[in-house]
Amino acid sequence: MSAQLGESEAQKTKSFDTLRAYLRRTSGLILEADKRYLVESRVTPVMRRAGLSGLTELVTLLEQGRMPSLAQEVVQAMTINETYFFRDGSPFEALRKILPKLVIARAAQKTIRIWSAASSTGQEPYSIAMIMQDFAACMATWRVEIVGTDLSEAALDRAVQARYSQFEVQRGLSKEQIQRYFRPTGDMWQLRDEIKSRVRFKQFNLLNPYDSLGQFDIIFCRNVLIYFEPERKADILSRMSRQLAGDGLLALGASESIIGLNIKLKPHPEYRGYFSHA
């Protein structure tokens, strides 16, 4: 970190360890000791905007708990928001096969609820909404609710706007899909209302109780649990399973596993990356 912040190396190390503990406690985010450069590069702009002298002053204010807006800025700065449309492909291909069976199973209720539990800037839940659009003709009278949640309010603000750059729409979308689901606006692409309106976004910390969210038929919790320690990961998945319908499915990221976790979920035999009640 730049010298003008005026902290000794020992102060920085101690403050970094305190910040790591704070983030672990409040957001579940696990940062290894060798990630100090990453942390400093991300929180330095936050400290400059707040007029702080360095990490020591920052962690003192965070620990005092008197500046919730500052705490939110720090957590958002450290939140990983890497995402793109139809990321990893196979979970969405599987969803196209799951939905017809789910439509039959929910014929009486005519209701489907899907939760994207780390929705970031919206590409995942909007990808789900694009798939749901293909089933719109046979579900005209249904209530389909896609809920996208994320810890970062900044990411959610972008998700709600649903405006993406050329680079962002090209990641995962074909030219036909871009033309079908977006309209150009300046040098950006605006998601069309028939897709945008299918998703409701909400700021949410995965460490908080889930009861207020209700029950879901499908939960996407992809590429986020890799940042949690095993005990915290098991707790999150156990609580998610309680929000999952009896025949519901939970999708994890391609590099994520439940091996070694004491939870009542099992890999689905047909859909890779999906889990059902054990």
Positions annotated as catalytic residues are: 42, 150
β-pairing verdict for 163-165 and 182-185: unpaired
